Chain A
Amino acid sequence: MNGLLRSAVVIVGLSLAAAMVIALLQLPSAAVHLPALVAENLAQSGVEHPVTAVLLNFRGWDTLLEVAVLLLALLTLLTLGGGKAPAPAAAVDPLLQGLARRMLPLIVLTAGYLLWAGAHRPGGAFQAGAVLAAGAVFLQLAGLLPAWTAPRRWLRLGLVLGFLVFLAVAAALLGQGALLRYPPALAGGLILLIEAGLTLSLGLILAGLFLFLTGRDA
Chain B
Amino acid sequence: MTAKTPTLAVWKFASCSGCQLTLLNCEDDFLSIVGAIDIVYFPEATKTMADGPYDLSIVEGSITTAHEAEQIQRIRASSTTLITVGACATAGGIQALKNWADVDEFISIVYPHPEFINSLGTSTPIADHVKVDFELHGCPISQRQLIEVIDSFLHRRKPNTPSYSVCVECKLNETTCVMIANGTPCMGPVTRAGCGALCPAFNRGCYGCFGPSETPNIASLRDLWHSIGVADADLALALRTFNAYAPEFREASDHYVG
Is the A/B pair a real complex?
no
B interface with A by C-beta (< 8 Å): none
A interface with B by C-beta (< 8 Å): none
